[in-house]
Structure 1
């Protein structure tokens, strides 16, 4: 099995730089980890719904701009790809 181009650790570091609020960065990081390790499609769907809602809420309260939202979606996509590789 090939190792992914972007590790969870690298994505968590990028997340800390992307979000100025440490609590929000920690919460999204938890979602990324859970997405990556989800044992079933049902669990994966649950975590995807939760992170999507959380990111939308951050955007709604002006804690994220459009560019940050796009970058967060990229981090979620990477977590999904790592899940598929496990």
Structure 2
């Protein structure tokens, strides 16, 4: 699942299947899109920090299990790999 060949659309579909909370899926989808299309390295770093914090908050509130956490981090990595700024 860590190949950069997956598109944002494919990742959003996986995200929707992975999370049972629609609001969390929408928020994480927004982060994935922002990471992929960040206009500057500073913005890219900002979005990466924010999504990391968001995932940590979901973990802290026990809204994710271990497997979901791993898969979500892989989706973030793929979005980062699609960014021309990486």
Is TM more than 0.5 here? Answer: yes
Structure 1 residue aligned with 2:50: 50
Q: What are the Cα deviations for residues 46-85 of structure 1, in whole angstroms up to 9, with x where unaligned?
A: 0000000000000111110111111001000100111038
1:64 aligns with 2:64: yes
| Bigger RCO of structures 1 and 2 (CA < 8 A, at least 6 apart) | 2
Structure 2 residue aligned with 1:41: 41
5+ residue gaps, structure 2, are none
- Give the secondary structure class of the aligned counterpart of 1:84: coil
Counterpart-to-counterpart distance in 1, 2:83 and 2:5: 13
Please provide the CA RMSD for this pair. Answer: 1.5
Structure 1 residue aligned with 2:19: 19
Structure 2 residue aligned with 1:84: 84
After TM superposition, the score normalised by the length of structure 2 is 0.91
Counting matched residue pairs gives 83
Counterpart-to-counterpart distance in 2, 1:50 and 1:18: 20
After TM superposition, the score normalised by the length of structure 1 is 0.91
5+ residue gaps, structure 1, are none
